[in-house]
Amino acid sequence: MSPPAASPPVPDDVQDAIRTLIRWTGEDPSREGLVDTPSRVARAWKEYCEGYGEDPALHLSRVFEEVGGYDDIVLLKDVPFQSHCEHHMAPIIGKAHIAYLPRDRVVGISKLARVLHGFARRLQVQERLTAQIADCLWDNLQPLGVAVILEASHACMSGRGVRTPGVTMKTSRMMGVFRDDQRSRREVLSLMGF
């Protein structure tokens, strides 16, 4: 078994910026418990934002046409995700429900979660994240319909400002038959548990 790959070095100016923030909060960045914090925080943020280094659409490039005549809704429900608010860089933690009605091909279900995470691992607002996921599926799979609903709590609201914990924000994007046909819309919402 090979040893784990070493983390790339964190640039000095990034560590200095984090030390400045630590000092600004009233702490001493040279205190024992905080000495390594600047490099740990920098590496954590590189991981939180690794979605900038990928194109989520690439996850949808391999499709399957031999599905035994299946022509109904495909739904991935309750997919956990984490993002960060672009306004305060605070965590957004939630779950996604992603559905599409295939036209003549399907994609591996793990790819739906990969699309979600590719967009979530960026600084975000939930509304844009919802639209990006739906648009990516619509543009790349050309399905008859797409439905995406995100439910999330926002630390920028629960831990600061209005300080209202326990609140969940829901956003949705319906496309194709899920937008235009009420029967199809009710069916996908029912499958999602709404």
First to last CA, the chain: 47
Contact between 175 and 145 under an 8 Å Cβ cutoff? The reply is yes
Contact between 146 and 175 under an 8 Å Cβ cutoff? The reply is yes
Query: What tokens appear for 102 in the block?
Result: 């295939």
> Please, where are the H alpha helices in 94-148?
109-120, 126-141
Q: How far apart are CA 115 and CA 139, in angstroms?
A: 13
Query: What tokens appear for 13 in the block?
Result: 């100016």
Query: Which residues does the annotation mark as catalytic?
Result: 85-88, 126, 154, 156
Q: Which amino acid is at 95?
A: K
Cα dist. 113→3, 44, 60, 127, 163 in Å? 29, 21, 11, 18, 30
